[in-house]
Structure 1
């Protein structure tokens, strides 16, 4: 890391205020050009610790930047990760205020519910499948507390991997008959299909994304715990949403979820 502890705390505070006020800030990497990925994760962890101290509970984790186009866009060759808290889970079919976000977008994903802990390094996709109790179709609401989505890898990592909220569908018991890479997803806005994709877009297999996460969390002393869920990455592009929109995600074999923005 290159940033001092005081600077890391200050940057975390800027993001926390931006999130609370739904008012984006300028790129942190413009303000702190020496920032490294380790600094960005340290900023993320400061805000996680503060929210847990305020009574929030960690329910899961997210993997981002799993698709080749997104990695190319940010000039990186690996995903990133963030946390998911109890106040970030939104009920299927519900309505949320668009104004609680800065510039929200939605993505269809598979969520994994674990019955066995996963602790890296060395976790494989096969071990992920063995540790999975159930999977579900999910709609992630991603948001950027950095203005205009002008991001580098460090900016999005510091900003909790641009995570904001998630809608989970009913859990479907996982069996080896569920071919996650072959599953097809559609993303729709107001009943019109925006994009579609397959699970193979997520590092070749969504289980590979969960394995990557378990291994990436190992240096932080963090395990993936039983009862937690993991958002494994988007099958498609991320679509912007605005007040009045209804977004839905469908994944073959898993069902559909939707959310309306008021």
Structure 2
């Protein structure tokens, strides 16, 4: 698996990228949040945010973590308009983020975790832009599964600008994927409904249409964005296509579950 590439150490922005990645990794390791880094580094724009993300993830890999996939963020078109972008955010998943079916989320390892339901793709082949269409993107998907993501921003109260959250690897923390896998040809991903429950009480519901209008369209936009940055999605990777509903906080002893119409159910408990 190909790791994100970091900037040369002697580039003008290298000191900023080093400082941003170091601060975010320190916050994660210390289970503490903090203020926006764009306030400390006014030059931190979206491009530098992605480059800082690359540095951050490369350091995780150098420490022994293994890249297992990618995640999409801001797949809601309404949220994109508010943030001034026209494509989802992309970020990276490593093996230390995986929660096996039935495994709890250990809250002592996190800051202020929140859970959201996800339609999950397992890639059957490499996919990279430019020019990827939703049809081409879905053809590269081998299987589809129910999933959830535990997001955990390293910013106080989840308050950040777009470059901030990109540098923070889009708040990636933990995720779970059901062991039940489905052929994408057998699914209506746009109509696939998910019901989000907290301790059995319904708190939200949505369909796949909430994900860029079509999860395959979100995947295509992500592949094209990665292609512009010289990156790709790789065969065998897991791709979280984006939160279908707003995320809910996970508290000790609390169980957040998702019941999909076709994909089945999945849950996580805070421990």
Larger CA deviation: 14-23 vs 211-220: 211-220
- Superposed, 1:206-245 pairs within 5 Å as 206-245=215-254
CA distance in 2, matches of 1:95, 1:247: 11
CA, structure 1 residues 76+222, in 2 after alignment: closer, same or farther (shift >3 Å)? closer
User: How far 1:71 moved relative to its partner?
Assistant: 2.7
Q: Does 1:176 align with 2:214?
A: no
> Hey, what does 2:46 align to over in structure 1?
37
Unaligned ranges ≥5, structure 2? 1-6
Query: What is residue 54 of structure 1 aligned with on the other side?
Result: 63
TM-superposed deviation, 1:75: 4.3
Instruction: Deviation per CA, 1:54-103: give whole Å up to 9, x if none.
Output: 11111000000011343355344432111000010101221122121111
Corresponding residue of 2:4: none
Say if 1:61 and 1:82, in contact at 8 Å, map to a contact too: yes
Q: Normalising by the residue count of structure 2, what TM-score does the alignment of the two structures yield?
A: 0.92
Which whole-Å deviations, capped at 9, do the CAs of 1:184-234 have from their partners, x for residues lacking one?
Answer: 011111111110001001111001111111111113322211110110011
SS in 2 for 1:71: helix
**Match of 1:172, SS?**
coil
- Structure 1 residue runs of 4 or more that deviate by more than 6 Å after TM superposition: none
1:183–1:252 contact (8 Å) kept in structure 2: yes
Give the secondary-structure state (helix, strand or coil) at the position aligned to 1:182.
coil
Aligned residue pairs total: 262
Q: Residues of 2 paired with 1:145 and 1:35: CA distance?
A: 16
The match for 1:143 is 152
1:131 pairs with 2:140: yes
Q: 3-state DSSP class of the match of 2:236?
A: coil
Structure 1 residue 175, shift from structure 2 partner? 3.8
Aligned residues of 2:101 and 2:179 also touching (Cα < 8 A): no
CA distance in 2, matches of 1:70, 1:216: 18
Q: Report the Cα offset of residue 3 of structure 1.
A: 6.9
| 1:91-121 deviation digits (Å, cap 9, x = unpaired) | 1221122121111111101110111111111
Q: Distance in 2 between matches of 1:18 and 1:225?
A: 29
Instruction: Note the 1:89-128 alignment, pairs <5 A.
Output: 89-128=98-137
Looking at structure 2, the residues matched to 126 and 223 of structure 1 have their Cα atoms a distance apart, in angstroms, of 17
| Distance in structure 1 (CA, Å) of the matches to 2:85 and 2:112 | 23
SS at match of 1:38: helix
Unmatched segments (≥5 aa) in structure 1: none
Mapped contact 2:211–2:241 kept (Cα < 8 A): yes
